[in-house]
Each structure stands twice: as structure tokens, then as C-alpha cells.
Amino acid sequence: MSDPDWIESTRQSYDTVADNYADFTRAAMGRAPVANSFLDLFSSLVDREGRVLDAGCGPGWVTAYLRDRGLNISGIDLSPRLIEIARTNYPEIGFEVGSITELPSPNRSLAGITCWWVLHHVPDSSLSTVLAQFFEKLKPGGYLLVGGHLGASTHTKTEGYGGLPMNVNMVKRSLDTFAELLEARGFVIDLQATLDPASTAPGLILLAHKTV
């Protein structure tokens, strides 16, 4: 899927599945204590006085989880319907429609960025741009937490979340691939982890920070 087609197709797809996706991801968070422990670690490291962005926040479950742990956090997502759900559930948190390819924050303004199960929708041709955005927006000492699908495959997802139609990239990458891309942008890798490696849907976690 070519640029910028993937952005619009991802927006339309998640507007279509938004309500079912919100239910699915809320339940998934409730049965993911290991993944959630990395969110806890992130919240313990980030400057509590600084601003944090949940990039690709979906219905806002992760955003609210981190807010409840003391972070000054807001969220952006491509899907207007997902943002509507997030605002309804958490009106006290700032949620806006936006793209991770064009983050709304000023350069060197954020203490932390989370990007939780989002980057598999970003094609290789755009991934370096997205990671460069993350680096530019973070303050020196700021942290980036990435969670996502682990693998080495690419396909187009055509349905999901109750059999509803979708048209989104599914690009699964290795830990080494992500680590190399992050280091190429200037990040220092603090932690790499694999989740459920023996399962049919293994995951990955990377924690990195910006030094300059």
C-alpha cells in the first residue's frame, strides 16, 4: 500500500471497526499483566512534570492507564470514531485526531511517547519518518516505549473485530530491526523484550531514550 494511501485506509478501517475494537482492546489489557508491567516501568521513569503523548491512542485505554499512574498525558489517533470513544470515556484527558507521521507537539517538548501496537500498520517506506518524529519531539532524557507484533512478514488485513471490512498494512518486524532503526535515529536502547514467544501472536517491547 503506497503513501499516503495507507494513512487514509487505516483511518477508514478503524472508523469501521472502532466500537468492536474498543471492546476487544479493553478486554486484552485486562489479561496482559506482563505487557502492562512495561507501561508501569515507563511511568516510573518519565518526568512527572513533563508532557507525554500516546501516539496512536485508539480508544484511550493505555492513555488512561498511564494517567492513573501520574503522567501528564494526551493522545492522538487517526480515527475520529476512536477519538470520540476516548473523549466520551475520559473527558478530562486531551484527545485529538492526528497522525503519528505529523505529531502536533513542538520539537523537544515531550518527556515521553508511547506507541502501543500501532507501528505494524506503518509501511517500511514511512517508518523512518515516524521514528524521526518521535526523536525530534522528545526532550533530551525523554523516553519512548514501543509495543507491537513480533515477526517477519507483511500482508494486508482485510477484515477484523467481528468480521468487519478493513484494509490495513500488517508489517511484523523483529526486535533487531526495530532496535537498528531506533539507534539509527539517535535513540539509546534501554530494554528489549519478547512477549509470548511460543504463541501464535508474539509481541515485542522496546524502551529507548534520547540523550541529546
Q: Could you report the per-residue pLDDT of 108-155, keeping only the tens digit for each?
A: 999 999 999 999 999 999 999 999 999 999 999 999 999 999 999 999
Domain assignment of residue 59, yes or no: yes
Domain range for residue 129? 5-148+162-171
Give how far the C-alpha of residue 32 lies from the chain's centroid of Cα atoms, to the nearest Å: 16
Domain assignment of residue 80, yes or no: yes
CATH code of the domain covering residue 68? 3.40.50.150
Domain assignment of residue 57, yes or no: yes
- Best CA proximity match to 15, nearest among 93, 99, 77: 77
Domain assignment of residue 187, yes or no: no
Domains in the chain, number:
1
Is the per-residue pLDDT at 5 higher than 60? yes
The pTM of the full predicted model, rounded to 2 decimals, is: 0.96
33-62 per-position pLDDT tens digit: 999 999 999 999 999 999 999 999 999 999
Domain assignment of residue 178, yes or no: no
- Residue 8: per-residue pLDDT: 97
